[in-house]
Structure 1
Amino acid sequence: MPSDAVLYQAAALCLTFPDDDFRARLPLLREAAPQLREFVDHAALTPPQELAAHYVQVFDFEDRHSLYLSRWYDGDTRRRGISLVRFQELYRAHELEFTGEELPDFLPAVLEFTARTGNLDLLSEHRGALDRLRARLADFGTPYASVLDAVCATLPTAPTHRTVS
């Protein structure tokens, strides 16, 4: 398991919809993942409805901020289906079954997979997309950018063979 497993698990929680369970975990997240304190402190100080509305504005209404990794390379094409199958196969190869309501390329799911298995392949393969998402979140002025900053700081540089839309 990578030394950054706690960070990946915490980042996965930070990138999911901020419900009551998320708010209850903020003190634990703050202590367990100091790299995420900027975001966690922001989340703790922001009223729950405001934080939820901001999440929806950032991730649900902005395709430019997609948390679905295969969309960055494949868009909504047939290739994306093949990519999603590859995510599922990698989860199964590690004896994990993806049962979430989200698609298997949902970044929080990938971060949780990485935390549980220590397998950095999906994050490393999609490093270019993560960098692009991080830059767009920073340009948008959202504290979620700091979560991507922390994750990207743990990964090798992006491969140059894939283009990101």
Structure 2
Amino acid sequence: MLLFRAMSALLSYPSEDMRAALPEIAGTVQVSSFLPARERRNLLDLIDELGRGDLLAAEERYVDLFDRGRALSLHLFEHLHGDSRERGEAMVDLKRVYAEAGFDLSTSELPDYLPVVLEYLSCRDLGEAREMLADCAHILAVVARSLIARQSRYASVLQALLVLAGEEPVDTAQVPPVREHREALDRDWVEQPAFAGAAMPGEQALKASDR
């Protein structure tokens, strides 16, 4: 489904190519019948923001959000396993899911990177995609809350994914805004994984393939 590919692009590191594709991405969002009007509108607001101003400013915003703390990491297994050995084992399992589905992981990114997961889901049927998103909905909600607290329009992508997973989006009125400080960012890196022992994204697919 093109909508997953569009959201993958929106969560990727900003580039000239991505900005050039924003009109096409906006068109995909506008005609989607899978998202309520509110989620479509919020995604279009993000697209508008990404297309404005200097590219360097967009790059800096991205790095400040996603590359400076575990709470906002787009690497899903980091929320489950941190830097433990179990994360590596989960990576191997997820790569196997990709390989068995004929998905070529040609990017240098790790397989648990959310934009990569969304690229994979864009090649699968909607039922399978929704099941995999539901498996990791608890992680998506945590990242969404962190983005909402930082008043970032990137939250619109996570909120839309929760809707597509059949889950309720995070209630923005219940998330107080925060102001990030270096101490808080540093703390994110040393905190324990948020979901130690929880099911990993794609685990149901793995179990099904073993039967």
Structure 2 length-normalised TM: 0.70
Aligned to 1:76: 83
In 1: Cα distance, 2:52 partner to 2:116 partner: 26
Q: 1:136 maps to what in 2?
A: 146
Between the aligned partners of 2:73 and 2:103, the Cα distance in structure 1 is: 24
1:63 counterpart residue number = 70
1:146 aligned partner: 156
Q: Is the 8 A contact 2:141 2:162 kept in 1?
A: yes
Helix, strand or coil: the match of 1:98?
A: coil
Answering whether residue 45 of structure 2 is matched by residue 44 of structure 1, we say no
Q: Shift of the alpha carbon at 1:41?
A: 1.1
Distance 2:53 2:135 in 1: 34
Q: Deviations over 1:36-70 (max 9, x none)?
A: 21210111123211111100111111221010011
Q: Identify the residue that residue 7 of structure 1 maps to in structure 2.
A: 3
In the alignment, the residues of structure 2 paired with residue 122 and residue 78 of structure 1 have an alpha-carbon distance, to the nearest angstrom, of: 23
Q: Is 1:122 matched up with 2:96?
A: no
Q: Report the alpha carbon displacement of residue 124 of structure 1 after superposing the two structures with TM.
A: 2.1
Name structure 2 gaps, 5 residues minimum: 31-39, 169-193, 197-211
Structure whose alpha-carbon radius of gyration is higher: 2
**Structure 1 runs of 4+ off > 3 angstroms?**
none
Equivalent-residue separation in structure 1 for 2:65 and 2:119 (angstroms): 21
User: Which amino acid in structure 2 is aligned with residue 60 of structure 1?
Assistant: D
Name which of 103, 106, 115 aligns with 1:108. 115
Q: Deviations over 1:59-111 (max 9, x none)?
A: 11122101001111111111111111111011011011212111000000000
CA positional deviation for 1:130: 0.6
- RMSD of aligned Cα (Å): 1.6
Please list every run of 5 or more consecutive structure 1 residues that lacks an aligned counterpart in the other structure: none
- 2:23 is aligned, of 23, 27, 52, to 27
Displacement after TM superposition at 1:123 (Å)? 2.1
> Contact between 1:110 and 1:122, CA under 8 Å: does it hold in 2?
no
Partner of 1:92: 99
TM-score, structure 1 as length reference: 0.89
Alignment match, 2:177: none
One-letter identity of the residue aligned with 1:153: V
